[in-house]
Every structure is written in C-alpha cells, then in structure tokens.
C-alpha cells in the first residue's frame, strides 16, 4: 500500500515535471518565433503614415505577409531596425544598413557570403554613397526592403522581369531609350535572350563608362557586345550575323580599338547603346539617311556615299563582292609568283652545285 | 727554245763587239798616255793604268745609265698617277650612275621603313607584331612612321617617272632597255633548259636580264598599287565621299596583300640575287659604287659588253 501511494506520488511529480519541461520548451519555441505583433499594432494598419518636414508623406504601413514570403521570413522587425529600443519610438529611425549587421563576408548570421558587398562599394553607386551623395542608391533601392526575394523569383525587384523598371526609377531617360530600342522591344515581348541593364553594366560592380575597368568602357564594349553577338546559337534565332564581331575586329576601327586608341569607333559609336535600333528604322543611327551624321562625328565632311555598300565586310566571303575577288586574285597571284621565284632560285643553286662538283 | 738560241747567238755577237770596242778604247788610251807620259812609265805599268781607267769608265757609265732609267720610270709612274691608266679602265665598267644609285637608296630606305611598320599592322593579331607596335609607341605612332616612309616612296617614284625617265639620256635609254621583249621569254626558256642540263649555254643577256627586268617592273607595279591605295586610304573621307565605302575596302585588301607580295619578293627574290647568291655573297656592291668588273660584265651582260667594245673601237678608229 505504502509502496503504491509512494508510486502514485512519484508518478504525479513525474507528470508535473514533464509538463513543466514541456511548457518550458513551448515558451522557448514561442520566444524563437519573431514577435512582430507589437510593431504591427501600428504598422499593420493600412494608411499609417507620417508627414515629413519636406512635405512628402512617409508611408509607414508594413505588410507582414510580404516579409514572411521574402528571403527574410525568419527575421523580426528589430533584427534589422535595431535602433528601435522601446515602443512607441519617438526618435528618428534610420535607414537599415544591411552591410553593417549581416551582409558582410564572414558574417555569423548565415547571410550569403559573396564578393558582391565589396563590389558595391567599388561601384559608381557605392562610391557616390561614400562621398555622401544623398541620392545614391543603397541596397533597399534596388532589392526592396520588406519584399526582398531571390533574383530568380519573378517578384524580386532585381529579377529579369523587373530590372529595367528598378533602374529606370533613377535612370529614366535610359529606360525610355532602352524600351524603344531593338533590345527593349523584344524584352517587353518576353524575349529571354536580349540584354537588360545588368547584362551590359553588371550588377553590383557598375562602373562609369569612362572608368577603364568598366564593361562599357570604350575598349571593352566589343567584349560586352560579342558576349551574345558572337554566339551562333543565340544569333541564328533572330537572323543576326555573328560575323559582325569578327569583321569589326579586322577593320581599321577594330584594330585601332584593340591597340587602345579610344577615339576609334567601337560598336556603340555607330549603333548607339540604349537606343540601338535596326538599320531599317528611320530613327536608327545607322539608318541610311543618318549615316553621314553618325560617321561625321569622327569623320567631318562625310556625305551620303558613306551609306553605300556594306559596312561589315569579310573579304573571305563571296557576299563581299568585288573585295572578295580582289582578295582571291591577290592570293593566287602571290602563291604563283612565289612558287615560280623559289623554283628559279632552287634550280639555280642546284645547277651551281653540279657545276662545282664537275 | 728557238728564242733562247736566238738570244744566245745575239749575246755572243754583242760580246764580240764589246770586246773589240774595249780593245780599241784601251789602245787609244795607251796611245794618249804614251804621248803625254811615255818617258816616265814602263810599258806594263802603262797598261795597268789604262785598264784601271777603263774599269772606272765602265762603272761610271753603268751608274749613269741606271740613274737615267730610274728617272724615266719615276716619270712614267707620275704620269700614271695623274691619268687613270687605260688598263684600269678596262677592268671596271660604270653600270649605274650616281643619280640612279641615289634613287635606289631612297627607294630601299623608304621600303625598309614601310615594311617594318606595315607588316606588323597586317599581322596585328600575332604577339610579336603587337609587341613591336607597342614598342614603337602604339598604333598612332606606327601609322605616322608608315606615312613618313610613304612620303619618301612617293617622292622617289614621282621623280623617277616624271623627271628621270623622260628627261635624262640615261633614264630614257635604260627605260627602253628595260621594256620586256620576246627575247626575255626565250631567255627564260633557255635558262630552264640550262638548269636541267639540256643545253650547256646560258642565255646571253644584254644590259638587263629578265631577272632584273622582273625586279624593276615588280617595283613599278607595286608602287602604283601601294601608292594609289595608300593615298585613297590616307584621305578616306574624300575617297568615300567620291566613290563610296567599297573603294576603301578594296584599297585596304589590295594594299595589305600587295604589301605582303612586295615584302616576299624583296626578301626572297631580290635578296637572293644581290645577297645570298653564291656568286655575290655577302653582297653585290653595285648599289654603292655603280661599278661592275669586266669579268662580271662578260659573265652577266655579254651583249652589253660587246656593244660597249664596238663603240670604243669606233671611237678609237675615228681618233686615228
């Protein structure tokens, strides 16, 4: 009996202890969940905003669902907004500095480790920020703030679908030029091959076009364009010749460009860059009537004859017409003349040898 | 053999004459001595004195003769120095005049400059060419040097065609000599036969062999192509404005290909004929002094040699 009572007591205490432990775990797991409820008391209300001294109305509404769908689904408000210490917070809340907390190489919080963070600071955007230009874009300007997704997610601001708009927020003229260009028009139809801003300019490492390291610097334009325009499998879809790269490289412009003469024409000098259009388009820089103006940028006094004939010429191909025949006739002339002369020399030497022997 | 015999007989006769002469002279001397000093001397003493006098006389005579001959020789040498001897004239012929040699020097200096700066431009995609271009100071510098060379070539070509060929006697005659003839074709055929041992006779060349004619006309044609196309590319805006872009494309192709052909022709053909050919190795000096030896003349230009000799003989006859 006694033993039984004791046993019951023991069982009860065991139950209590196990319950207690369970509650501890429960509370711990509740603690592990980001607790944004307090913040959302105010920030979850639509229309919650604050008029600024500048006259702009700062929208302070936060859609919590958005954050939960984003790459930061497991983060709570204060993980980023670390300067919020009490509720209500009366002090001015700063813009979140992503690089300070998590996004640096060797971070302990599991943020992706890439060189992109340092690339940004070398870029024209990062440099402007360091110089204190207030309009310089920071991470959130391109990637979004609560709605950050991986770039391959369509909803991402830096996805292929959204990049031109994202850049166009600041670079409006370029956006307009691009969307009306041959690349932009195809892009809007959902073409997967045409370049968007980042394909030519890079992403984090965007440099000014007069920086020698830039992908759009005069001497690098050819590589940037030929990245696609040299590829047969892309170009044959659209009936664009891949020869243009090779023929340019063999032309006066190409050779001079290769040897670092920056005044020599590169692809963009003639075709434009954001406003590239086919030669059939009257607005194109390489439309027949616009050629004298385009060439005249470097060759003052160019007239309409500059538009006659092919620009990109490959002497090895029959399509080049007269140039091809000139090249061929010289080839055979050289070979035959050299064979005749060398034969004459060899025969002469052979005869001399025979003579000296006899 | 006969000559020696004749010499011997000749010398014995002379010796006889000499001995008789000597004896007569001795007698005369003796007689004179007897007349003057006959009382004071014995006969044998007198003879001794006479023979001594004779010996002295012969010695002195020999010395005087030797001196005279030496003096004559010196005079002759002096005359030789003052006038180039006729023998040397026969040793060398002037093949190229100074005017022609200077043209050739201007031609090859500009050609060397043009080749050194042009070939790297043609083969820009090879690493040695790129190295050389950067060594010189980049594309702009190398094109500038190329155009300086071009100016030299243009000067030489214009002078040769517009002044030297029409307005100098040598220019005119050489140009006519250089024109290709049917004989050149037969010469080539004969040369090939000679190479293969079908005949033992080399073709006889005149002032210019078909080898030299080929060189001359190759340069002529090369200059026309290179200067023409180069000029059109130099003033590309004007050329395109006049003829369209295709003219510059043609010029670029022609200039580049003809430049290579010229270079190969010079390096292989011309260098063989004037440098590496065992007959002239390491170099023929005709370009420098314009002289050609009589030997080479008979070997290389027998017909011209014959012409020159004919002319000379005529001139000699006229003078006589």
Beta bridge partners of B7: none
Interface of A with B (CB under 8 A): 252, 255-256, 258-261, 299-303, 305-306, 308-311, 313, 315, 320-323, 326-327, 330-331, 333-334, 337-338, 341-342, 345, 347-352, 354
DSSP type of residue A313: -
Beta bridge partners of A214: none
The pLDDT score that the predictor gives to residue A28 is: 52
Residue A108 class from Cβ within 10 Å (0-12 exposed, 13-18 middle, 19+ buried)? Answer: exposed
Average pLDDT score over residue span B107-123? 97
| Chain B nearest C-alpha distance from A294 (Å) | 13
For residues A81 and A101, what is the distance between their CA atoms, to the nearest angstrom?
10
**Which residues in chain A belong to E strands, given as ranges?**
49-51, 57-59
For residues A185 and A191, what is the distance between their CA atoms, to the nearest angstrom?
9
For residues A164 and A158, what is the distance between their CA atoms, to the nearest angstrom?
9
| Chain A nearest C-alpha distance from B218 (Å) | 11
Dihedral pair phi/psi, residue B291, rounded to 5°: -95, 145
Q: Which two tokens stand for residue B129?
A: 């060419």
User: Tens digit of pLDDT per residue, chain A (358 long)?
Assistant: 556 666 777 777 878 887 777 777 665 554 444 567 888 888 888 888 888 778 888 888 888 888 888 999 888 888 888 888 888 787 778 888 888 888 988 888 888 888 888 899 999 999 999 999 989 999 999 999 898 999 999 999 999 999 999 999 999 999 999 999 999 999 999 999 999 999 999 999 999 999 999 999 999 999 999 999 999 999 999 999 999 999 999 999 999 999 989 899 999 999 999 999 999 999 999 999 999 999 999 999 999 999 988 899 999 999 888 999 999 999 999 999 999 999 999 999 999 999 888 7
The pLDDT score that the predictor gives to residue A31 is: 46
- Residue B21's Cβ-side half-sphere holds a number of Cα atoms within 13 Å equal to 8
The pLDDT score that the predictor gives to residue A25 is: 65
- Predicted confidence band of residue B53 (pLDDT cuts 50, 70, 90): confident
| Chain A nearest C-alpha distance from B130 (Å) | 8
For chain A, how long is the longest CA-to-CA vector?
140
Pairing of strands B291-293, B92-94: antiparallel
Contact B195 A348 (CB under 8 A): yes
**Nearest Cβ partner for B257 among A300, A334, A351:** A334
Average pLDDT score over residue span B3-12? 60
Question: Is pLDDT above 60 for B87?
Answer: no
- Predicted confidence band of residue B83 (pLDDT cuts 50, 70, 90): low
- Report in angstroms the alpha-carbon separations of B71 from B59, B62, B80, B81, B85: 18, 14, 14, 16, 19
**Nearest Cβ partner for B244 among A260, A309, A337:** A309
* In contact, A189 and A228? CB cutoff 8 Å: no
Q: In which residue are the tokens 């003078």 written?
A: B319
For residues A357 and A343, what is the distance between their CA atoms, to the nearest angstrom?
21
With b meaning 16 or more CB within 10 Å and e meaning fewer, what string describes A212-233? Answer: eebbbbbbbbbebbbebbbeee
- Report in angstroms the alpha-carbon separations of B218 from B192, B261, B282: 21, 10, 24
- Report in angstroms the alpha-carbon separations of B118 from B107, B130, B222: 16, 12, 14
The pLDDT score that the predictor gives to residue A305 is: 92
pLDDT in tens, B147-168: 999 999 999 999 999 999 999 9
Contact A326 B253 (CB under 8 A): yes
Question: Is pLDDT above 80 for B227?
Answer: yes
Q: Which two tokens stand for residue A212?
A: 């020698």
For residues B314 and B320, what is the distance between their CA atoms, to the nearest angstrom?
10
Q: In which residue are the tokens 């388009």 written?
A: A281
Which long-range contacts does A151-159 make (Cβ < 8 Å, 24+ apart)?
A: A155/A69, A158/A198, A158/A203
Which residues of B fall within a CB distance of 8 Å from A255? 121, 124, 139
* In contact, A315 and A327? CB cutoff 8 Å: yes
pLDDT in tens, B120-130: 999 999 999 99
Beta bridge partners of A50: A58
**Nearest Cβ partner for A313 among B124, B240, B249:** B249
Question: Is pLDDT above 70 for B7?
Answer: no
| Chain B nearest C-alpha distance from A256 (Å) | 7
The pLDDT score that the predictor gives to residue B36 is: 75
Q: In residues, how long is chain B?
A: 320
Contact B244 A322 (CB under 8 A): no
For residues B200 and B185, what is the distance between their CA atoms, to the nearest angstrom?
18
Residue B252 class from Cβ within 10 Å (0-12 exposed, 13-18 middle, 19+ buried)? Answer: buried
The pTM for the full model equals 0.75
For residues A204 and A292, what is the distance between their CA atoms, to the nearest angstrom?
38
Which residues of A fall within a CB distance of 8 Å from B272? 345
DSSP type of residue A49: E
Q: Which residues make Cβ contacts (< 8 Å) with residue B109, sequence separation at least 6? A: B152
Interface of B with A (CB under 8 A): 121, 124, 130, 133-134, 138-140, 192, 194-197, 236-238, 240-246, 249-250, 252-254, 257-258, 260-261, 264-265, 268-269, 272, 277-278
Contact B249 A252 (CB under 8 A): no
- Report in angstroms the alpha-carbon separations of B126 from A216, A314, B24, B123, B267: 26, 19, 102, 6, 20
Question: Is pLDDT above 50 for B1?
Answer: no
pLDDT in tens, A237-268: 999 999 999 999 999 999 999 998 989 999 99
Question: Is pLDDT above 90 for B214?
Answer: yes
* In contact, A297 and A264? CB cutoff 8 Å: no
Question: How many Cβ contacts (< 8 angstroms) between chains A and B?
Answer: 98
With b meaning 16 or more CB within 10 Å and e meaning fewer, what string describes A331-352? Answer: eeebeebbeebeebbeebeebe
The pLDDT score that the predictor gives to residue A113 is: 86
Contact A309 B265 (CB under 8 A): no
Give a three-class secondary structure readout of chain B. Answer: CHHHHHHHHHHHHHHHHHHHHHHHHHHHHHHHHHHHHCCCCCHHHHHHHHHHHHHHHHHHHHHHHHHHHHHHHHHHHHHHHHCCCHHHHHHEEECCCHHHHHHHHHHHHHHHHHHHHHHHHHCCCCHHHHHHHHHHCHHHHHHHHHHHHHHHHHHHHHHHHHHHHHHCHHHHHHHHHHCCCHHHHHHHHHHHHHHCCCCCCCCCCCCCCHHHHHHHHHHHHHHHHHHHHHHHHHCHHHHHHHHCHHHHHHHHHHHHHHHHHHHHHHHHHHHHHHHHCCCCCCCCCHHHHCEEEHHHHHHHCHHHHHHHHHHHHHHHHHHC
For residues A36 and A188, what is the distance between their CA atoms, to the nearest angstrom?
39
Residue A266 class from Cβ within 10 Å (0-12 exposed, 13-18 middle, 19+ buried)? Answer: buried
Give which of B117, B253, B258, B276 to mutate to test A binding, by max A Cβ within 10 Å. B253
Q: Which two tokens stand for residue A70?
A: 């984003």
């Amino acid at each position: 009996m006694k033993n039984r009572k004791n046993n019951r007591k023991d069982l009860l205490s065991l139950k209590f202890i196990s319950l207690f432990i369970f509650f501890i775990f429960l509370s711990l797991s509740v603690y592990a969940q980001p607790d944004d409820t307090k913040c959302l008391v105010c920030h979850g209300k639509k229309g919650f905003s604050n008029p600024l001294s500048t006259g702009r109305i700062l929208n302070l509404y936060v859609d919590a669902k958005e954050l939960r769908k984003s790459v930061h689904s497991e983060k709570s408000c204060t993980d980023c907004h670390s300067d919020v210490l009490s509720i209500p917070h009366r002090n001015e809340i700063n813009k979140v500095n992503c690089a300070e907390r998590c996004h640096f190489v060797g971070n302990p919080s599991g943020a992706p480790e890439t060189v992109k963070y340092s690339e940004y600071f070398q870029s024209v955007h990062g440099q402007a920020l360091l110089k204190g230009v207030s309009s310089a874009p920071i991470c959130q300007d391109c990637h979004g703030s609560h709605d950050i997704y991986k770039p391959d997610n369509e909803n991402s601001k830096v996805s292929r679908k959204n990049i031109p708009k994202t850049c166009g927020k600041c670079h409006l003229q370029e956006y307009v030029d691009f969307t009306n260009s041959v690349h932009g028009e195809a892009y809007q139809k959902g073409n997967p091959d045409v370049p968007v801003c980042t394909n030519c300019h890079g992403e984090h490492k965007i440099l000014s076009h007069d920086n020698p390291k830039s992908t759009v610097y005069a001497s690098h334009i050819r590589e940037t364009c030929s990245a696609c325009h040299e590829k047969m499998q892309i170009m044959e879809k659209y009936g664009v010749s891949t020869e243009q790269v090779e023929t340019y490289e063999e032309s006066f412009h190409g050779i001079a460009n290769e040897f670092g003469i920056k005044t020599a024409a590169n692809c963009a000098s003639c075709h434009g860059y954001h406003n590239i259009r086919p030669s059939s388009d009257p607005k194109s820089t390489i439309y027949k009537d616009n050629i004298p103006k385009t060439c005249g940028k470097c060759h003052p006094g160019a007239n309409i004859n500059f538009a006659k004939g092919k620009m990109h010429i490959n002497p090895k191909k029959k399509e080049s017409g007269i140039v091809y025949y000139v090249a061929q006739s010289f080839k055979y002339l050289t070979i035959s003349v050299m064979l005749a002369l060398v034969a004459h020399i060899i025969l002469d030497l052979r005869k001399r040898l025979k003579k000296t022997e006899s | 053999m006969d000559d020696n015999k004749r010499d011997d007989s000749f010398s014995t006769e002379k010796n006889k004459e000499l001995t008789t002469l000597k004896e007569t002279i001795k007698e005369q001397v003796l007689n004179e001595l007897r007349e003057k000093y006959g009382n004071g001397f014995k006969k044998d003493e007198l003879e001794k004195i006479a023979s001594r006098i004779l010996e002295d006389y012969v010695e002195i005579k020999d010395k005087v003769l030797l001196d005279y001959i030496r003096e004559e020789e010196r005079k002759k040498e002096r005359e030789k120095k003052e006038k180039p001897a006729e023998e040397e004239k026969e040793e060398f012929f002037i093949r190229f005049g100074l005017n022609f040699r200077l043209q050739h020097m201007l031609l090859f200096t500009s050609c060397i400059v043009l080749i050194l700066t042009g070939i790297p431009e043609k083969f820009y995609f090879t690493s040695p060419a790129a190295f050389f271009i950067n060594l010189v100071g980049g594309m702009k510098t190398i094109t500038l040097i190329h155009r300086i060379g071009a100016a030299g070539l243009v000067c030489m070509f214009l002078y040769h065609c517009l002044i030297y060929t029409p307005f100098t006697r040598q220019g005119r005659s050489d140009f006519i000599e250089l024109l290709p003839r049917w004989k050149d074709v037969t010469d080539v055929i004969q040369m090939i036969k000679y190479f293969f041992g079908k005949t033992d006779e080399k073709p006889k060349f005149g002032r210019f062999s078909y080898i030299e004619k080929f060189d001359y006309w190759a340069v002529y044609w090369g200059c026309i192509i290179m200067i023409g196309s180069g000029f059109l590319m130099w003033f590309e805006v004007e050329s395109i404005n006049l003829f369209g872009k295709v003219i510059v494309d043609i010029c670029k192709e022609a200039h580049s290909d003809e430049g290579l052909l010229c270079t190969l022709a010079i390096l292989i053909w011309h260098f063989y004929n004037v440098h590496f050919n065992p007959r002239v190795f390491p170099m023929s000096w005709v370009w420098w002094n314009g002289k050609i030896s009589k030997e080479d003349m008979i070997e290389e230009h027998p017909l011209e040699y014959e012409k020159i000799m004919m002319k000379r003989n005529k001139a000699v006859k006229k003078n006589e």
